[in-house]
Amino acid sequence: MTKLDLLHQHGQSIWYDFIRRDMLDGGGLADLVSDGIRGVTSNPSIFESAIAKTELYDEQIASLGDVSPESAFEALAIDDIRAAADILASVYDDSDGEDGYVSLEVSPRLANDTAGTISDAMRLWDAVDRRNLMVKVPATPAGIPAIEELTAAGININATLMFSMADYEGVAMAFVRGARRASDPAVLASVASFFVSRVDASTDAALERVGTDQAASYLGKAAIANAKLAYRRFQEIFEGDDFATLEAIGCRPQRVLWASTSTKNPAYNDVMYVEELIGPRTVNTAPPHTIEAFLDHGEVKGGSLLKGVNEAATLIRDLPTIGVDFDAITHQLQIDGVASFAKAYESLLTAIATKQRRVVA
């Protein structure tokens, strides 16, 4: 039994925040599943690294002929997502649909387009044609109504790029409204991806600008505190009376997923965003190096997510009083996150176009 299996005994599933073609042949992902990995997530940055910076996809790019870079990327990504979904099908079946999912993001160009997001998500859902797909939709003001509509249509959604309590509240309630309208809520699966380490990176910078001893005492604490408050809200929504009627007919809660869990500051514990966020009905998606570090020297702190919640609330409440506008920070983080994924997507398309010209020549 690995530490990942122990985490699952405490109610948390570990997903792999990485995908690349060479892990889909041979051992690769199958071995990771044997070690306790229970899902896979992707994003435009991950695909940019996989496709633009390796030659693993060049042969297929050549075989696609004269198509747009967007069409080429979609063909490459769908093949990878299907292959990963098939490898994870046993996890999906054994867990009765709780785990075993692979996530694929709608076009970052649609982050502020509700109708476009709905259309793109439905198209990807049909194109991949795997029940253990989750379509990633950003929790932007335009994305949240799309999450409701897509949930109502029976599509599994990974709501992403959440940094604030307002983001979480909007996504969770969109899922509940959509589930109430779904023809079969019992088949729905969804996660709410709440980003962690980026919160500390931005909040720490603000605390350092304040420069007081009190501000220094809060360094490296805001992200975990913020996450604990989001989880408390999860418990209020999904373990309360409002969701009970849906749960009674087999609808699963939308689990909180901890994203951006690699530690950015080398002075901090490199597995702090795993160790301190362990709790029931949660997912942690981590990149390969964080998972390797946790397996090597991480500690399974069962129920760590449930400890110090009142202190977390006090910390977040006190930030404005010492000169840190936490709401502004989390709002800007979502804007920056959307822009970062859009930039990675455009860079990826440029790289594919370059490869197309080269392989044709």
Residues belonging to the active site:
136
What CA–CA distance (Å, rounded) separates 180 from 108? 28
57 — phi, psi (to 5°)? -110, 0
Angle at Cα 262 formed by Cα 261 and Cα 267, nearest 5°? 125
Residue type, 117: T
Residues in the chain, how many? Answer: 361
Largest CA distance in the chain: 64
**CA-atom Rg of the chain in angstroms:** 20
Residue type, 280: P
Residue whose tokens read 């604490």: 221
What CA–CA distance (Å, rounded) separates 353 from 157? 30
Residue type, 353: A
Enter the tokens of residue 224: 């975990």
27 — phi, psi (to 5°)? -65, -70
**Per-residue CA distances from 263 to 100, 196, 206, 229, 353 (Å):** 25, 9, 18, 20, 34
